[in-house]
Amino acid sequence: MGLTMRQLAVLFASMMFSAVASAAGPAPAAKVDLAKGEQIFSQQCVACHGVDGNSAAAIYPKLAGQHAEYTAKQLSNFKPAKEGEKPLRENAVMAGFAAMLSPEDMRDVSAYLESKTQKPGTAKNKATLELGQKIYRGGIAEKKVPACAGCHSPSGAGIPAQYPRIGGQHAQYTESQLSAFRSGTRGNSAQMTAISARLSDVEIKAVSDYIAGLQ
């Protein structure tokens, strides 16, 4: 049965709308406000994470130069997905700060931090440098531990939106996070939980120290 003139008109209009939408492409990403991000950081974060995100205390991570998507995801993970549930990352201090931030705030402060330059770090333990390098570059085959460089890159720069920048990070902080993955108190990466579970304390310390010297 043939289509009526009204049906043809509706079909034509639908086709034209689809063509225009396809030509326009995907919706543009939401704009970030670096000035607002700097304001949030200055008011809530600088005391622990340092000027421009370069923390002086090794217990707090350097955030300068970190991929914005990664930082925003970590901030969101300090909030429970549902009321009454545990957050994927357990930290009472960060949970309090994250609770005050909207998704837009997280995006803005993360973009601000990505725009800053991380100060280089150094490896300090010569006795474990060779072991740390071996783990980072080649993994531990007998334990089925993959090379860290495979995801985080040889320089530790990571891959935006997927794997964080870890080169130059404080060794103490990296060690604490690998231990948290291993114990289950940090549960936002099944991959890192599995890898950390196969590492000894000595191996975690060695690779953490080696990572601190990457640039």
> Residue 4's pLDDT is what?
55
On the question of a common fold for 34-114 and 126-212, the answer reads yes
Entry field: residues in the chain: 215
Q: Where are the domains of the chain?
A: 34-114, 126-212
User: What fold does the segment set 34-114 form as a domain?
Assistant: Cytochrome Bc1 Complex; Chain D, domain 2 (1.10.760)
**Cα Rg of the chain (Å, integer):** 22
Q: Write out pLDDT tens, residues 126-180.
A: 999 999 999 999 999 999 999 999 999 999 999 998 999 999 999 999 999 999 9
Q: Which CATH number fits domain 126-212: 1.10.760.10, 3.40.50.720, 2.60.40.2550, 2.60.40.3080?
A: 1.10.760.10
Instruction: Give the pLDDT confidence score for residue 29 in this predicted structure.
Output: 61
Amino acid 61 reads P
According to the model, what pLDDT value does residue 30 have?
Answer: 73
pTM of the model: 0.85
- Taking the chain (215 residues) in runs of 10, the rounded mean pLDDT of each run is 49 45 51 97 98 97 98 97 92 95 98 98 98 98 98 97 96 98 96 98 98 97
Q: What is the largest CA-CA distance in the chain?
A: 84
The pLDDT, as a whole number, for residue 169 is 98
